[in-house]
Structures are given as structure tokens and as C-alpha cells.
Amino acid sequence: MKIFKLSTIYILTMLFMSGLSAQNKVEKLDFILVDNPPTYFSQLKKLTKGWESPNGATPDLYHKDGARFVGVPVNGPGNQEAYDGDSYAGIIAYQTFASNKYTEYIQTQLSAPLIAGQTYNIIFRASLAENSGEAVNGLGAYVSKKAVGFHTRSFITASPQVISKEIIQDKENWVEVKGQFIATGGEEYITIGVFNGIDKSTTFENVKESINKGRAYYYIDGIALSAGSMEPDTDGDGIIDKEDKCPNVKGTKENNGCPDVDTDGDGIVDSKDKCPNLKGTKENDGCLLSEAEIKMIKDASAHIYFETGSATIKKESHADLNKLAEILKKHPEVKATVEGHTDSSGDDASNLKLSKTRAASVVKYLIEHGEKEDHISSKGFGSTKPIASNETKEGRAKNRRVEIVISAFE
């Protein structure tokens, strides 16, 4: 699933001291685990701090370290990244085969009661799970003075301050449900779900057979309550215009409101790409090689030794070069460039020549041990690229080196 991300479930609210409002503060109320990650469905109340099921039903918790059916992003109902953080909730909003009109809600307590006459904004995000065969309207948020407690496992009758009048049927993105209301004073609980039954629904025909085919199952994340007039958010990415460096294009909080980019075009956005300037694979987090292979190449490069003043490779280097050759043979999609460097001893022309011949010797060795000629090349830089001071013996030793640079074979 493609998603846009902003924040973990949180509540923006007013904190109060001696009955007077303090400065606006942000109190994050994400799904904090009080035990191990979920192992199966119906564990939201059991495993999180402060989250309840107001009608006695069994909402679900999904976590990146959860078991097979309750993980993030892949889980039983579908596949969705968290809006941010490691977890989100899941609720059955509606199911066609329930004789008692079964539905689920999530509820938590705010840190302090709301102020009478104050304007507040509510926002939350919902995404329909892929395996859902139904979709509905009516998802809303209800803020109340007392905790809702109707243990019928059916629809709660209430007047939510914020409600989605349209059917939410996006299975790929997080959809915002938001609005404003004026508090009557004393409200301190927020409940999310479908209130008063179903008004509109739609059915998906091409859904695989499963228990969720007859359900409208929604992931819920990114819940917020804030005081004051709602700030404009032109692109609807959850980042207000005055804090958004790209106010007309949806982006992420990590990028200050600008969209993720994929510099190397490998299908992995830069924020998740460990090698953002080199095309790689998803398995290697955007790199061509695994972390273990990259480390092995670096270690091998650090143990290539030559006879003094010569391009002849010492025998003690052969074992590491053999490991390097095996990695390169294993990855025909990789091109290697061997770069030779010297310290500043001697004249520039001699240093350049020595660095070139040493790099060429390494290339020759690797070709003799199975690497393809068109997949490897060499360069010499003499003493022009030191990595340490040439004023000390230790520094000069570090500067006399061979480096292996990996790129994609075009």
C-alpha cells in the first residue's frame, strides 16, 4: 500500500492548571504497549495503555513486531503501513452477516476536560483493509463528558462531532476525517467508530473469499484533537501551510511537507533507501548488496598489501581478494571500480603511476578469479585524495590504500 505519513496516534489538547488554561501542549497518546506485541486479533484493550472498547466488542491492535496476522504492514485483513510509528488499530465497522448489527469502536480519555465555548478541531485517518468486501460511510469521532459504556457489541446512539458523510473505500491511502466543534465544557473522552447504524454502503465484487469479504474493516490511525481555529492545509497532507515547505503538494512530516523522492529511481524512496544515490533492491534496503557483503568488501579492501614500491600483491592478501571475487561473481548486476591511492612520499608522477599499477594489479587478480572484464575497472589517484595526515607515519599508512567502489552495471 502507498501511504502518506505524518504522526503516530496522538491527542493535541489544552492542559489546565487551577482551572485556567496553560499554553498549548502536545500530548502524544499512541498505542503504547504495556506487554508484548500482539499475537492475535482482539488484543487492543489488553496490550495498550488507555484504550478501551466502549461497546464490549473486540477491536484489534497491529504492530510492526506483531505475529503473522497482526503485524505491520502485512496482516490478516490486508497490508498497510502505520500512518506513523509502529502500530494502529483495526475495527469492524459493519458486517453483513451479523444478526445483532455487530460493530467495533475505540475509546480513550483526554488529559483534561475541554473548555466551554472553545473551538476544537478533530482529525483522524482511516484506511479500508484490502480483504474487506464492504465499505461504509458514517465513520466519526464523538467527544463526551463521560466514558461511553453500552456493552451490546452493537451500534452506539450518539451525535459525533465529526463524521464522514462519504463512503470511505480507499484501500491504498489513509483518508482524513476532520472537522470543528465548540465544546459545551467538561468533555474528556473520545470515541471513534460508526454511530447510529449504516446510512450508505458499497460492495466490492472482486474480493477473495474470507471472513472479511462480508465486512467493512478499517484501520484507524493519526487521531488528533486541537484547540483554536483550524489552520489551512491546502494540500491536505496534515501539515499546516505555514509549516509546509511544499504547501501545494502532499508530503511527509520528515520532509517538512514535501513528498518523498526516489533519487536513484529504484522504487525505494530516499527516506527508506540506505543507498539513495545507487539503484538497489528492496531486500537490501535500496542497496545493491547486503550490509554483510558491503562490510566484507570494506574489510577485504583494508587488507590488500603490496611489496614495497611495487604493484606486486602480497600473498597474505589473497584470502581477502578471493572473498571479494566471490561476492562480485555472485552479483553480475554490480560493477566494481578499484581505486588506488598513495601517500605523499615521492614525486607526484611516481605516486600516480604506482597507484594506477596497483589498482590494475587488483583488477587483474579478480578477473583471473572469475570476475568479468567488462564488470570491473581501475583508477589511480596518486596522493591527491588523502584520508589522513601525511605528516605522521600512521597517517601515511592509512593513505596508502586500495578502495573498491560499487555501482550498478548498465
Chain segment 278-303, per-residue pLDDT in tens: 888 888 888 888 888 989 998 888 88
pLDDT: which is higher, 397 or 63: 63
Residue 237: its pLDDT value, please? Answer: 74
Do both 297 and 220 map to the same domain?
no
Residue 238: its pLDDT value, please? Answer: 66
pLDDT digits (tens, 9 = 90+) for 392-402: 999 988 898 99
**For residues 311-328, b (16+ Cβ closer than 10 Å) or e, as one string?**
bebeeebeebbebbbebb
Q: Could you give the number of structural domains in the chain?
A: 2
Do both 209 and 301 map to the same domain?
no
- Mean pLDDT, the chain, rounded, equals 86
* Arithmetic mean of pLDDT, 57-84: 96
Do both 172 and 24 map to the same domain?
yes
pTM surpassing 0.85? no
Question: Does residue 4 fall inside a structural domain?
Answer: no
Residue 229: its pLDDT value, please? Answer: 65
Residue 377: its pLDDT value, please? Answer: 95
Do both 16 and 113 map to the same domain?
yes
Do both 84 and 179 map to the same domain?
yes
Question: Does residue 249 fall inside a structural domain?
Answer: no
Question: Does residue 275 fall inside a structural domain?
Answer: no
Do both 220 and 355 map to the same domain?
no
Do both 209 and 307 map to the same domain?
no
Cell 588506488 belongs to residue: 340
CA separation for the pair 338, 336 (Å, rounded):
6
* Arithmetic mean of pLDDT, 183-211: 88
Do both 185 and 98 map to the same domain?
yes
Residue 161: its pLDDT value, please? Answer: 93
Q: Is the pLDDT of residue 231 over 90?
A: no
Question: Does residue 235 fall inside a structural domain?
Answer: no
Residue 146: its pLDDT value, please? Answer: 96
Question: Does residue 261 fall inside a structural domain?
Answer: no
What is the CATH number for 120? Answer: 2.60.120.260
Answer with the one of 194, 209, 229 that is the final residue of a domain: 229
Residue 11: its pLDDT value, please? Answer: 35
pLDDT: which is higher, 241 or 11: 241
Question: Does residue 241 fall inside a structural domain?
Answer: no
Residues of the domain holding 130: 11-229
Q: Is the pLDDT of residue 148 over 80?
A: yes
What is the CATH number for 330? Answer: 3.30.1330.60
Do both 109 and 216 map to the same domain?
yes
CA separation for the pair 48, 317 (Å, rounded):
55
Do both 80 and 219 map to the same domain?
yes
Do both 28 and 110 map to the same domain?
yes
Answer with the one of 229, 252, 272 that is the final residue of a domain: 229
- Give every CB contact of residue 76 below 8 A, 6+ residues apart in sequence: 41, 68, 69, 70, 131, 212
Question: Does residue 247 fall inside a structural domain?
Answer: no
* Arithmetic mean of pLDDT, 88-114: 91
| Alpha carbon 73 to chain centroid, angstroms | 9
368 pLDDT band, cuts 50/70/90, is: very high
CA separation for the pair 370, 374 (Å, rounded):
12
Do both 47 and 148 map to the same domain?
yes
pLDDT digits (tens, 9 = 90+) for 158-178: 999 999 999 999 999 999 999
Question: Does residue 111 fall inside a structural domain?
Answer: yes
Answer with the one of 207, 229, 251 that is the final residue of a domain: 229
Whole-number Cα distances in Å, 195 to 101, 159, 174, 257: 12, 8, 21, 33
Phi, psi of 348 (to 5 degrees): -60, -40
Residue 27: its pLDDT value, please? Answer: 40
CA separation for the pair 109, 143 (Å, rounded):
10
pLDDT: which is higher, 201 or 18: 201
